[in-house]
Protein backbone atom coordinates (compact mmCIF):
# COMPACT_ATOMS: atom_id res chain seq x y z
CA UNK A 1 0.00 0.00 0.00
CA UNK A 2 1.04 3.56 -0.59
CA UNK A 3 0.06 6.11 2.05
CA UNK A 4 0.40 9.77 1.09
CA UNK A 5 1.13 11.18 4.51
CA UNK A 6 2.42 13.99 6.66
CA UNK A 7 -0.46 14.03 9.14
CA UNK A 8 -1.17 12.39 12.47
CA UNK A 9 -3.78 10.22 10.79
CA UNK A 10 -1.21 9.02 8.27
CA UNK A 11 1.26 8.08 11.01
CA UNK A 12 -1.44 6.26 12.99
CA UNK A 13 -2.53 4.41 9.86
CA UNK A 14 1.02 3.35 8.99
CA UNK A 15 1.68 2.16 12.55
CA UNK A 16 -1.45 0.04 12.68
CA UNK A 17 -0.88 -1.43 9.24
CA UNK A 18 2.76 -2.29 9.94
CA UNK A 19 1.78 -3.84 13.27
CA UNK A 20 -0.73 -6.01 11.39
CA UNK A 21 2.00 -7.14 9.00
CA UNK A 22 0.95 -5.15 5.95
CA UNK A 23 3.48 -3.94 3.38
CA UNK A 24 3.23 -0.15 3.62
CA UNK A 25 5.21 2.70 2.10
CA UNK A 26 4.52 6.22 3.35
CA UNK A 27 5.30 9.18 1.11
CA UNK A 28 6.01 12.64 2.53
CA UNK A 29 6.21 15.75 0.39
CA UNK A 30 9.34 16.99 2.18
CA UNK A 31 8.14 20.56 2.71
CA UNK A 32 8.83 20.54 6.45
CA UNK A 33 12.29 20.02 7.92
CA UNK A 34 12.59 17.32 10.56
CA UNK A 35 9.13 15.84 9.95
CA UNK A 36 7.67 13.28 12.34
CA UNK A 37 8.30 10.05 10.46
CA UNK A 38 5.87 7.14 10.36
CA UNK A 39 6.92 3.56 10.99
CA UNK A 40 7.63 1.37 8.00
CA UNK A 41 9.16 2.31 4.66
CA UNK A 42 9.26 6.04 3.95
CA UNK A 43 9.99 8.04 0.82
CA UNK A 44 10.41 11.81 0.93
CA UNK A 45 9.91 14.17 -2.01
CA UNK A 46 7.46 14.86 -4.77
CA UNK A 47 6.59 12.59 -7.69
CA UNK A 48 6.60 15.20 -10.45
CA UNK A 49 2.90 15.89 -10.66
CA UNK A 50 0.09 13.54 -11.62
CA UNK A 51 2.08 12.02 -14.50
CA UNK A 52 5.05 11.27 -12.27
CA UNK A 53 2.84 9.72 -9.62
CA UNK A 54 1.11 7.60 -12.26
CA UNK A 55 4.48 6.32 -13.46
CA UNK A 56 5.43 5.49 -9.87
CA UNK A 57 2.16 3.60 -9.37
CA UNK A 58 2.76 1.52 -12.48
CA UNK A 59 6.20 0.52 -11.14
CA UNK A 60 5.27 0.20 -7.47
CA UNK A 61 1.92 -1.53 -8.19
CA UNK A 62 0.20 -0.88 -4.87
CA UNK A 63 -3.07 -2.59 -4.01
CA UNK A 64 -4.48 0.77 -2.96
CA UNK A 65 -3.40 4.38 -2.40
CA UNK A 66 -4.55 6.13 0.76
CA UNK A 67 -4.44 9.92 0.60
CA UNK A 68 -3.98 10.99 4.23
CA UNK A 69 -2.43 14.36 3.47
CA UNK A 70 -3.39 17.69 5.06
CA UNK A 71 -6.91 18.94 4.24
CA UNK A 72 -5.33 21.90 2.42
CA UNK A 73 -2.92 19.83 0.31
CA UNK A 74 -5.21 20.33 -2.68
CA UNK A 75 -2.55 19.88 -5.36
CA UNK A 76 -1.34 16.57 -3.95
CA UNK A 77 -4.90 15.28 -3.61
CA UNK A 78 -5.72 16.30 -7.19
CA UNK A 79 -2.59 14.58 -8.49
CA UNK A 80 -3.42 11.44 -6.53
CA UNK A 81 -6.95 11.33 -7.94
CA UNK A 82 -5.70 11.81 -11.51
CA UNK A 83 -2.87 9.29 -11.17
CA UNK A 84 -5.08 6.63 -9.62
CA UNK A 85 -7.71 7.13 -12.30
CA UNK A 86 -5.06 6.79 -15.02
CA UNK A 87 -3.66 3.58 -13.56
CA UNK A 88 -6.90 2.03 -12.21
CA UNK A 89 -5.43 1.89 -8.69
CA UNK A 90 -8.11 2.31 -6.00
CA UNK A 91 -7.87 5.54 -4.02
CA UNK A 92 -9.22 6.21 -0.55
CA UNK A 93 -9.04 9.66 1.07
CA UNK A 94 -9.00 10.11 4.83
CA UNK A 95 -10.12 13.63 5.71
CA UNK A 96 -10.61 14.57 9.34
CA UNK A 97 -13.72 16.60 10.20
CA UNK A 98 -13.33 20.37 10.18
CA UNK A 99 -13.84 22.57 13.21
CA UNK A 100 -17.32 23.77 14.18
CA UNK A 101 -18.03 27.08 15.89
CA UNK A 102 -19.24 26.80 19.49
CA UNK A 103 -21.23 29.11 21.73
CA UNK A 104 -19.15 32.22 22.38
CA UNK A 105 -17.11 31.99 19.19
CA UNK A 106 -16.86 35.01 16.89
CA UNK A 107 -15.97 33.42 13.56
CA UNK A 108 -15.98 34.73 10.02
CA UNK A 109 -15.46 32.21 7.24
CA UNK A 110 -13.79 33.02 3.93
CA UNK A 111 -13.33 30.90 0.83
CA UNK A 112 -9.55 31.05 0.44
CA UNK A 113 -6.35 32.68 1.66
CA UNK A 114 -6.65 35.64 -0.75
CA UNK A 115 -10.07 36.44 0.70
CA UNK A 116 -8.56 36.18 4.18
CA UNK A 117 -5.86 38.72 3.31
CA UNK A 118 -8.45 41.12 1.91
CA UNK A 119 -10.56 40.78 5.05
CA UNK A 120 -7.56 41.49 7.27
CA UNK A 121 -6.63 44.62 5.32
CA UNK A 122 -10.02 46.14 6.10
CA UNK A 123 -10.14 45.03 9.74
CA UNK A 124 -9.42 47.38 12.68
CA UNK A 125 -5.79 48.06 13.52
CA UNK A 126 -4.14 45.71 15.99
CA UNK A 127 -2.13 42.52 16.13
CA UNK A 128 -3.12 39.72 13.75
CA UNK A 129 -2.11 36.19 14.69
CA UNK A 130 -1.42 34.23 11.48
CA UNK A 131 -1.42 30.43 11.74
CA UNK A 132 -1.98 29.60 8.07
CA UNK A 133 1.45 28.18 7.22
CA UNK A 134 4.52 29.68 5.59
CA UNK A 135 3.49 29.09 1.96
CA UNK A 136 0.59 31.54 2.24
CA UNK A 137 2.34 34.44 3.93
CA UNK A 138 3.12 36.44 0.78
CA UNK A 139 -0.50 37.52 0.29
CA UNK A 140 -0.27 39.51 3.53
CA UNK A 141 3.10 41.09 2.74
CA UNK A 142 1.80 44.46 1.50
CA UNK A 143 -0.22 45.15 4.66
CA UNK A 144 1.53 47.87 6.66
CA UNK A 145 -1.51 48.74 8.82
CA UNK A 146 -1.33 45.77 11.16
CA UNK A 147 1.18 44.13 13.43
CA UNK A 148 1.51 40.42 12.69
CA UNK A 149 2.39 37.51 14.90
CA UNK A 150 3.28 34.68 12.52
CA UNK A 151 3.67 31.14 13.84
CA UNK A 152 5.19 28.57 11.48
CA UNK A 153 7.33 25.46 11.74
CA UNK A 154 10.19 26.43 9.42
CA UNK A 155 11.67 29.84 8.51
CA UNK A 156 9.76 31.54 5.68
CA UNK A 157 11.10 31.88 2.15
CA UNK A 158 8.51 34.45 1.02
CA UNK A 159 8.03 38.17 1.80
CA UNK A 160 6.47 39.05 5.15
CA UNK A 161 4.41 42.04 6.28
CA UNK A 162 6.72 44.87 7.40
CA UNK A 163 5.65 44.67 11.06
CA UNK A 164 6.01 40.96 11.78
CA UNK A 165 7.02 39.02 14.87
CA UNK A 166 8.07 35.53 13.82
CA UNK A 167 7.51 32.53 16.08
CA UNK A 168 9.01 29.20 14.99
CA UNK A 169 7.13 26.45 16.78
CA UNK A 170 5.16 23.28 16.13
CA UNK A 171 2.15 21.72 17.83
CA UNK A 172 0.51 20.26 19.69
CA UNK A 173 -0.39 23.36 21.70
CA UNK A 174 -2.22 23.53 25.03
CA UNK A 175 -4.81 26.04 26.19
CA UNK A 176 -2.65 27.72 28.84
CA UNK A 177 0.14 28.47 26.37
CA UNK A 178 -2.24 29.68 23.69
CA UNK A 179 -4.09 31.94 26.11
CA UNK A 180 -0.80 33.40 27.35
CA UNK A 181 0.43 33.96 23.79
CA UNK A 182 -2.70 35.83 22.72
CA UNK A 183 -2.57 37.99 25.84
CA UNK A 184 1.16 38.71 25.61
CA UNK A 185 0.83 40.00 22.04
CA UNK A 186 -2.57 41.66 22.54
CA UNK A 187 -3.94 39.70 19.59
CA UNK A 188 -7.05 41.29 18.06
CA UNK A 189 -7.66 38.81 15.23
CA UNK A 190 -6.74 35.15 14.77
CA UNK A 191 -6.43 33.82 11.20
CA UNK A 192 -6.46 30.07 10.71
CA UNK A 193 -7.26 27.42 8.16
CA UNK A 194 -10.02 24.95 8.97
CA UNK A 195 -7.53 22.14 9.49
CA UNK A 196 -9.60 20.31 12.08
CA UNK A 197 -8.21 17.85 14.60
CA UNK A 198 -7.04 18.25 18.21
CA UNK A 199 -3.39 19.27 17.78
CA UNK A 200 -4.00 22.98 17.17
CA UNK A 201 -7.56 23.51 18.38
CA UNK A 202 -6.40 25.14 21.64
CA UNK A 203 -5.91 28.48 19.87
CA UNK A 204 -9.63 28.51 19.09
CA UNK A 205 -10.48 27.75 22.70
CA UNK A 206 -8.20 30.58 23.85
CA UNK A 207 -9.75 32.99 21.35
CA UNK A 208 -13.23 32.08 22.60
CA UNK A 209 -12.23 32.70 26.22
CA UNK A 210 -10.62 36.05 25.41
CA UNK A 211 -13.26 37.27 22.95
CA UNK A 212 -10.81 37.37 20.03
CA UNK A 213 -12.47 37.21 16.58
CA UNK A 214 -11.37 34.35 14.34
CA UNK A 215 -11.07 34.38 10.57
CA UNK A 216 -11.43 30.81 9.29
CA UNK A 217 -10.30 29.83 5.79
CA UNK A 218 -12.54 27.11 4.35
CA UNK A 219 -11.04 23.95 2.92
CA UNK A 220 -10.63 23.41 -0.80
CA UNK A 221 -13.04 20.81 -2.19
CA UNK A 222 -11.89 17.25 -2.66
CA UNK A 223 -11.43 16.05 -6.25
CA UNK A 224 -14.59 14.86 -7.94
CA UNK A 225 -15.47 11.21 -7.57
CA UNK A 226 -13.08 10.25 -4.76
CA UNK A 227 -14.17 8.07 -1.85
CA UNK A 228 -13.54 9.86 1.44
CA UNK A 229 -13.79 8.79 5.08
CA UNK A 230 -13.10 10.81 8.20
CA UNK A 231 -11.25 8.42 10.54
CA UNK A 232 -8.40 5.93 10.43
CA UNK A 233 -10.78 3.22 11.66
CA UNK A 234 -12.99 3.88 8.64
CA UNK A 235 -9.96 3.55 6.36
CA UNK A 236 -8.94 0.25 7.91
CA UNK A 237 -12.43 -1.18 7.56
CA UNK A 238 -12.34 -0.55 3.81
CA UNK A 239 -8.90 -1.89 2.99
CA UNK A 240 -8.79 -5.01 0.84
CA UNK A 241 -7.96 -8.28 2.50
CA UNK A 242 -8.52 -6.94 6.04
CA UNK A 243 -4.95 -5.62 6.04
CA UNK A 244 -5.33 -4.14 9.50
CA UNK A 245 -6.17 -7.48 11.05
How many CA atoms lie within 13 Å of 190's alpha carbon, on the beta-carbon side? 29
**Nearest-5° angle of CA 8, CA 13, CA 17?**
150
Tell me if 71 sits within 8 A of 195, measured CB to CB. Answer: yes
Residue pLDDT, tens place only, 77-115: 999 999 999 999 999 999 999 999 999 999 999 999 999
Question: 2-97+221-242: what fold?
Answer: Rossmann fold (3.40.50)
Q: What is the sign, positive or negative, of the torsion defined by CA atoms of 45, 222, 243, 59?
A: negative
pLDDT of residue 151: 97
In whole angstroms, give the CA distance from residue 128 to residue 150.
Answer: 8
DSSP notation for 175-239: HHHHHHHHHHTTEEEEEEE---SSTTTHHHHHHHHHT--EEEEPPPPPPTT-EEESSHHHHHHHS
pLDDT of residue 67: 97
Sheet holding 164-168, edge to edge: 107-110, 214-217, 187-193, 127-131, 147-152, 164-168
Give residue limits of the domains in the chain. 2-97+221-242, 107-217
CATH of range 107-217; options 2.60.40, 3.30.1330, 1.10.3470, 3.40.50: 3.40.50
pLDDT of residue 170: 86
Helix 49-60 to helix 74-87 angle (10° resolution) is 50
Residue pLDDT, tens place only, 17-72: 999 999 999 999 877 667 788 999 999 999 999 999 999 999 999 999 999 999 99
User: What is the reported pTM?
Assistant: 0.89
pLDDT of residue 243: 54
In whole angstroms, give the CA distance from residue 146 to residue 95.
Answer: 34
pLDDT of residue 36: 80
Whether the per-residue pLDDT at 241 is higher than 70: the answer is no
pLDDT of residue 171: 82
3-state DSSP assignment of residue 108 = strand
Tell me if 65 sits within 8 A of 80, measured CB to CB. Answer: yes
pLDDT of residue 19: 93
Between these two residues, 122 and 243, which has the higher pLDDT value? 122
Residue pLDDT, tens place only, 158-208: 999 999 999 999 888 999 999 999 999 999 999 999 999 998 999 999 999
Q: 162: which DSSP letter?
A: S
- In angstroms, the first-to-last Cα distance of the chain is 15
Helix 202-210 to helix 175-184 angle (10° resolution) is 50
Q: 103: which DSSP letter?
A: T
In whole angstroms, give the CA distance from residue 57 to residue 226.
Answer: 17
Amino acid sequence: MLVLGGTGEARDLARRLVTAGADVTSSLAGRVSRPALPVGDVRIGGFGGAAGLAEFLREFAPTIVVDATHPFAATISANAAAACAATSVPLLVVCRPGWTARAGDDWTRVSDIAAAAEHVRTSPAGTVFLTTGRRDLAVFADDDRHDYLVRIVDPPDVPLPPRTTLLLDRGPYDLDRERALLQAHDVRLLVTKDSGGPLTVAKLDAARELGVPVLVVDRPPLPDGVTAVDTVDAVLSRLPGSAAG
